[in-house]
């Protein structure tokens, strides 16, 4: 089958090209880029030297699926004709993730160009929405933070294991900020440094609350979500805290066992989620499509503590996009995604 990539020249797009280069059934036949149009892909990205493809301004071939790695607003605008023509689309941007156009406008400060499409789009987290993804032509690939955060909390929310006061403290490598230049991603500013950012509220938060509310329409979560920048290239680790609903879980060792069993059960058939026996580390996911999740409790305070991590460019972006595409196209869900993590 044939795939096109719109805006291959960011980190998400380049990672998608890398993954698809080894996909057994999906061939990239056309890629676009804004400033790099006219160059060859391997000229811009020497690590893709095994590929041989021109970067063009527009997609120049018929495809079975299109991936867009454009930023929000630009992506919806470019994709609307394709969507209307019924082309299968996986969109990396935030444009089709939120169901409520008012929430979109609140966080992205622009009006949505096509509010009516929002309900038709599937939120592309296969572990939660596999059936919806299978039957949709428009899949909104989740943000990197939401992928880790929702997967970390879904079993607890689904099982009623917690009450509604949730805190997610997220740590991300710098590649999550993309390839565009900024003092915040300038090596000498970031290296040997850790800081919180978007302290007033990160745009990825409403995805998390939206999707967790769909799992369990009980009392609305009261979520505090704080993001930190870590001096490494790839990887997101989220540490999640919430009071146990001890009426369900009990307390102490019993609660710990209940929680672990619930998580193991929730993800028992998932190819890319591993409930670990030890706290995981981001390095264990480098280049792989896995999400590692470690649920435990703080027995001193009867709190649930869940630690989860992913490679933000794979399970948090390009790998998840391929997983979604596999589902949409009726291919094996793990096709092209079986690479183990690089270590050390």
The residues in 43-62 that bind a second copy, with binding defined as CB under 8 A, are 45-51
- Among residues 230, 310, 321, 322, which is the contact residue for a second copy, using CB under 8 A? 230
CA distances from 112 to 94, 131, 200 (A): 11, 26, 22
Catalytic residue among 144, 240, 291, 309: 144
* Rounded least distance, CB 165 to a second copy, Å: 8
Between 74 and 341, whose beta carbon lies closer to a second copy? 341
* Rounded least distance, CB 234 to a second copy, Å: 7
- Beta-carbon contacts of residue 116 (< 8 Å; ≥ 6 apart): none
Asked if residues 204 and 225 have their Cβ atoms less than 8 Å apart, the reply is yes
Q: Does position 284 bind a second copy by CB under 8 A? A: yes
Between 137 and 198, whose beta carbon lies closer to a second copy? 198
The residues in 3-22 that bind a second copy, with binding defined as CB under 8 A, are 11, 14-15, 18, 21-22
- Among residues 218, 231, 254, 332, which is the contact residue for a second copy, using CB under 8 A? 231
- Among residues 79, 286, 325, 328, which is the contact residue for a second copy, using CB under 8 A? 286
Indicate the burial class of 188 (C-beta count within 10 angstroms; 0-12, 13-18, 19 or more).
exposed
**70, two tokens:** 């454009």
Beta bridge partners, 248, equal none
* Rounded least distance, CB 44 to a second copy, Å: 11
Q: How many CB atoms lie within 10 A of CB 135?
A: 9
Q: Does position 340 bind a second copy by CB under 8 A? A: yes
- Among residues 27, 111, 131, 165, which is the contact residue for a second copy, using CB under 8 A? 165
Q: Does position 292 bind a second copy by CB under 8 A? A: yes
Between 215 and 233, whose beta carbon lies closer to a second copy? 233
**105, two tokens:** 């406008």
Q: Does position 144 bind a second copy by CB under 8 A? A: no
Q: Does position 253 bind a second copy by CB under 8 A? A: no
Q: Does position 255 bind a second copy by CB under 8 A? A: no
Residue 294 CA to residue 145 CA, distance in Å, equals 16
Q: Mask of contacts with a second copy, 84-123, x by CB under 8 A?
A: ----------------------------------------
Our answer to whether residue 309 is catalytic in this structure is: no
DSSP class of residue 314 equals I
Beta bridge partners, 274, equal 292
CA angle, residues 247, 158, 300, in degrees to nearest 5: 45
- Among residues 213, 248, 261, 281, which is the contact residue for a second copy, using CB under 8 A? 281
The residues in 167-206 that bind a second copy, with binding defined as CB under 8 A, are 167, 169, 171, 173-175, 179, 181-183, 185-197, 199, 201
Indicate the burial class of 80 (C-beta count within 10 angstroms; 0-12, 13-18, 19 or more).
middle
**325, two tokens:** 């595409």
Q: Is 89 helix (H, G, I), strand (E, B) or coil?
A: strand
Residue 124 CA to residue 314 CA, distance in Å, equals 14
* Rounded least distance, CB 320 to a second copy, Å: 17
- Beta-carbon contacts of residue 73 (< 8 Å; ≥ 6 apart): 93, 95, 108, 110, 113
Q: Does position 251 bind a second copy by CB under 8 A? A: no
Q: How many CB atoms lie within 10 A of CB 40?
A: 15
* Rounded least distance, CB 280 to a second copy, Å: 7
- Among residues 224, 254, 265, 332, which is the contact residue for a second copy, using CB under 8 A? 224
In Å, how far from its chain's centre is CA 161? 24
Binding-residue total with a second copy (CB under 8 A) = 85
Where in the sequence numbering do the catalytic residues fall? 144
């Amino acid at each position: 089958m044939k795939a096109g990539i719109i805006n291959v020249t960011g980190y998400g797009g380049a990672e998608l090209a890398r993954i698809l280069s080894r996909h057994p059934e999906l061939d990239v036949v056309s890629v676009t880029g804004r400033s790099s149009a006219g160059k060859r892909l391997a000229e811009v990205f020497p690590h893709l030297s095994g590929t041989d493809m021109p970067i063009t301004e527009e997609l120049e071939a018929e495809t079975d699926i299109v991936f867009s790695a454009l930023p929000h607003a630009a992506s919806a605008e470019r994709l609307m004709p394709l969507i209307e023509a019924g082309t299968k689309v996986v969109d990396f941007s935030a444009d089709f993730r939120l169901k409520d156009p008012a929430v979109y406008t609140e966080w992205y400060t622009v009006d949505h160009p096509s509010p009516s499409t929002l309900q038709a789009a599937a939120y592309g987290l296969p572990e939660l929405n596999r059936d919806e993804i299978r039957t949709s032509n428009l899949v909104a690939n989740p943000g990197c933070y939401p992928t880790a955060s929702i997967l970390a909390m879904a079993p607890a929310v689904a099982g009623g294991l917690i009450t509604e006061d949730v805190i997610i403290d997220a740590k991300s490598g710098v590649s999550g900020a993309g390839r565009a230049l900024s003092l915040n991603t300038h090596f000498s500013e970031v290296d040997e440094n850790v800081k919180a950012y978007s302290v007033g509220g990160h745009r990825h938060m409403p995805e998390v609350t939206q999707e967790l509310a769909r799992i369990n329409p009980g009392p609305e979560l009261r979520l505090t979500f704080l993001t930190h920048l870590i001096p490494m290239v790839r990887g997101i680790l989220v540490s999640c805290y919430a009071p146990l609903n001890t009426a369900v879980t009990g307390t102490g060792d019993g609660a710990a066992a209940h929680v672990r069993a619930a998580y193991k059960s929730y993800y028992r058939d998932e190819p890319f989620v591993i409930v670990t026996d030890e706290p995981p580390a981001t390095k264990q996911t480098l280049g792989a499509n896995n999400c590692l999740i470690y649920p435990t409790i703080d027995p001193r305070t009867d709190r649930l503590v869940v630690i989860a991590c992913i490679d933000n460019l794979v399970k948090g972006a390009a790998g998840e996009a391929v997983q979604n595409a596999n589902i949409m196209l009726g291919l094996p869900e793990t096709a092209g995604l079986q690479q183990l993590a690089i270590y050390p």
